[in-house]
Each structure stands twice: as structure tokens, then as C-alpha cells.
A = this chain, B = another copy of it.
Amino acid sequence: PTPLASQALVEMAEGEDRAQLLAALPAEKIAEFLRALPDDDATDLIGELEPDDQRKTLATLPDDDAGDIKRLLRYDEETAGGLMTTELVEVEASLTADEAIRQVRILGRDVEDFYTVFVIDQERRLLGTMRLDDLVVADPGASIKALVEEPSVTVSPDEDQEQVGKLLGRYNLAAIPVVTDEGVLLGRITFDDVIKVIESEQTEDILMLAGVTDEDELKHTWVQSVRTRLPWLMLNLATAAIAASVILVFKDLIEKELTLAFLAPIIAAMGGSSGTQSLAVTIRRITLQGSGSARGFVAKEILVGLVNGAVLGVGIALLAFLIDGNVMLGLVVLLAMWGNQIVAGFAGAFIPTRLDRAGIDPSIASSVFVHTLTDLLGFFLLLWLASHLLL
């Protein structure tokens, strides 16, 4: 039956397959599916069609459905406007609880999942919200005006979806109202939409930290994966080559003391590991709490680097001494490891914080910066110290 088929289309992951399936259907069939869906889901589906097909499909829908969808299509997919549905249950503040419940009974027939009743004035400005459960248990004669709670949070339609997710999670809301600057109620965003947002934003964090710059990667073919991952790898190749070229600069030194060729990649790799730890913690912190008041966190990461670096430095110094029997080489490698660990802790916390404050997504760019820095510094510290202390 149509409602089930429509639901199946909504549940299908976005991307190539669903767009192709839709494109293959006649416009009348698509319209039939769409009428069975809430307007936010219908808008998501139509948004995947080519502009020509969008027009054709909208033309086959009843005028009021088409109008809702056209309005919703204007909002960016990743904003509150792109998430919201305009289908909701609203009552005027002048009613009593009993009158309101009767109105909810009528309006509620066409609305899915309305756990929140929106209370408006005659200009459709939002006065507040009532939880449906509170309305049900209320004294029938009580006036809605006395029962309404000021909405703990509202969002504008241009609000970023990540921010909407944070608000809903923080305030434990079943639905967030979307209002204009003048306070007029436009729609609502429900918890199930937000769960999807939280999942996709976090997929983004994980993948971008690893250098996969497209959140849709999970649905990609191998050709698309190559296209999104290769640019990052080529950038990495360039930075790795620049860092390793320090080895060529100190060629003569390595010829004399070949153990350095064994130690250099270890110090660089350990800098990368610590930098990644610090980076992951910081990016997670920024996602959950924002990048404000970061000074304490940066200081903490430097302290962690100071201690971890001392321990790892002694470890690698012992190893170098065992292999080479040279105390001075042990000292050189201890200092190089230690310095690189401190910088790794600092950079892993400082760089993403700065990028976030500059309005750049820290997950994308931080990893390249931190790894280049710890590679370069790891090679350089070891070989520069060796050239001054060993010869």
C-alpha cells in the first residue's frame, strides 16, 4: 500500500539509489507517495529530483501541499528550516483546556507525532508550548493562558542543524518550535529528525578526522571514494615529503650515524599519535561544548605532553643506547621526543580551537596541520640536536 511504500522511500538512505528510483517513477506515482508523507519528508524526497522533475511533480500535487513543499524547499537542507515540518497542532491562548483538547482532537487527525501543542495568539505569534500529557491531565475548565509554559527554546529557520541537535539534547524536548524574527510560528522539529542529525554530524566528525572529507562516504561507490579521499592523500604525500626532506638536508650526518635513520620515523610517528589523541579529545569537546574558554584545555594538553613526552623520551633513549652504546645519542633522542610530544599536545588542542573560532570546520583541516607539524618537528629536532651535540 502507498503509505508503507512512502515510508520505505523515506527510510532509504539518501543518495544515488533513492534519487534513481524516484527519477524512474512517473510524476503521478511520485505525487501519490508524497501525499502520504509529512511535508518535511516529502520535501527531502523532492529535493533529490532534478529541477525539471521537481516542477513536474509539484504540478501534480494539490495546491496547498505543493505550496508547503515549495516554501520548505527554499531552506537549506542542513538548517532548521530544512528539518522542520509545518504540520503541527496549535491552539489559541483564549481557549479552556477542554476546548483545546477538542480542537487537538480535530487537528491531530492529520498530524503525526504531536507530543507538543503550540499555543499562539491571533497573529499566529508563538506564546508558548504545552506538553500533550500536561494538557490531558489539566483541569478541563482551566484556561490555556494559565497553563502555557514559555517555550524554553525556539530557533530561527536559518539556524544550523548541528545547533538544533544540541539544543534538543540539552533541554530534553520532544519538539522545538521554529519561529520568524517577529515570533510567528513557522513549524516544528521533532526528536526523531534530530537523532538523524546527531548521527550524521558525528559521522562527519569521525570521517573528517581520518581525512575522509565527505560525510556521504558510507553510501559511496569505490569511484566516488577515490575521488573524495585521493585529494587528501595527495596533500598528505606533499606534506610528508616536505617533512622527510629534513632527512635529505642532514644526509651527511645520517651517513655517519645510521641509527638516526631508525630513530627519526619513530619520533615523528609518536608525535602523530599524541597529536591525534589531543586532537580527537579537543574536536569532541568542541562538538559537544563549543570552543569557548579553551585556555585551560590547551594548558592541560601541554601538561599531558610534558609527562607523556618524558616517559616516552626515556624509553626511546634507552632503546637508542642499547643499539648504539652512545650516551650522547640517548640524550639527543630523549630531548627530540620530549619536545615533539609537548608540541603535539599543544597543537592538537590549539589548532582546532583556533580554526573553530575562525569559522572553519576543525575536523577537516586540523589533522593535516597537526601531522605535518609533528612530522617536520620530529625529524628536525632529532637531526638538528644530533648535528650540534653528536659531532
Are A136's CB and B258's CB within 8 A? no
Q: Given A132-B115, A233-B308, answer yes or no on A104-B174 (Cβ-Cβ < 8 Å).
A: no
Any B CB within 8 A of the CB of A145: no
Q: Which of B133, B168, B207, B236 contacts A115 (CB 8 A)?
A: B133
- The A135-157 residues at the B interface (CB cut-off 8 A) are 136-137
Are B284's CB and A218's CB within 8 A? yes
Of the stretches A20-28, A179-187, A237-245, A351-359, the one at the interface is A237-245
Taking the nearest CB of chain B, how far is it from the CB of A264, in angstroms?
A: 7
Are B108's CB and A136's CB within 8 A? yes
Closest to A309 in B: B233
- The A247-274 residues at the B interface (CB cut-off 8 A) are 247-248, 251, 254-255, 258-259, 261-266, 268-270, 272-274
Are A280's CB and B207's CB within 8 A? yes
Q: How distant is the Cα of A375 from the Cα of B269 in the complex, in angstroms?
A: 10
Q: How distant is the Cα of A270 from the Cα of B315 in the complex, in angstroms?
A: 26
- The A96-150 residues at the B interface (CB cut-off 8 A) are 101, 104-105, 108-109, 111, 113-115, 131-133, 136-137
Would you give the 0/1 interface string for A3-47, flagging 1 where the beta carbon is closer than 8 Å to chain B?
000000000000000000000000000000000000000000000
Are A281's CB and B207's CB within 8 A? yes
Closest to A246 in B: B262
Are A195's CB and B206's CB within 8 A? no
Are A240's CB and B212's CB within 8 A? no
Q: Which of B255, B300, B304 contacts A258 (CB 8 A)?
A: B255
Are A312's CB and B268's CB within 8 A? no
Contacts of A266 in B (CB 8 A): 237, 240-241, 244
Closest to A239 in B: B269
Are A281's CB and B212's CB within 8 A? yes
Contacts of A218 in B (CB 8 A): 281, 284-285, 288
Contacts of A284 in B (CB 8 A): 203, 206-207, 218
Contacts of A207 in B (CB 8 A): 280-281, 284
Would you give the 0/1 interface string for A284-296, flagging 1 where the beta carbon is closer than 8 Å to chain B?
1100100000000
Any B CB within 8 A of the CB of A192: yes
Q: How distant is the Cα of A281 from the Cα of B232 in the complex, in angstroms?
A: 15
Q: Which of B111, B198, B233, B308 contacts A270 (CB 8 A)?
A: B233
Of the stretches A58-66, A68-76, A77-85, A223-231, the one at the interface is A223-231
Q: How distant is the Cα of A369 from the Cα of B377 in the complex, in angstroms?
A: 26
Closest to A319 in B: B241
User: Can you report 10 residue pairs joining A to B where beta carbons are below 8 Å apart?
Assistant: A132-B133, A169-B195, A195-B195, A203-B284, A206-B209, A217-B281, A233-B270, A234-B311, A236-B270, A241-B319
Interface residues of A (CB under 8 A from B): 101, 104-105, 108-109, 111, 113-115, 131-133, 136-137, 168-169, 172, 174, 191-192, 194-196, 198-199, 202-203, 205-207, 209-212, 217-218, 221-222, 225-226, 229-230, 232-234, 236-237, 240-241, 243-245, 247-248, 251, 254-255, 258-259, 261-266, 268-270, 272-274, 276-277, 279-281, 283-285, 288, 300, 303-304, 307-308, 311-312, 315-316, 319, 323, 371, 375, 379
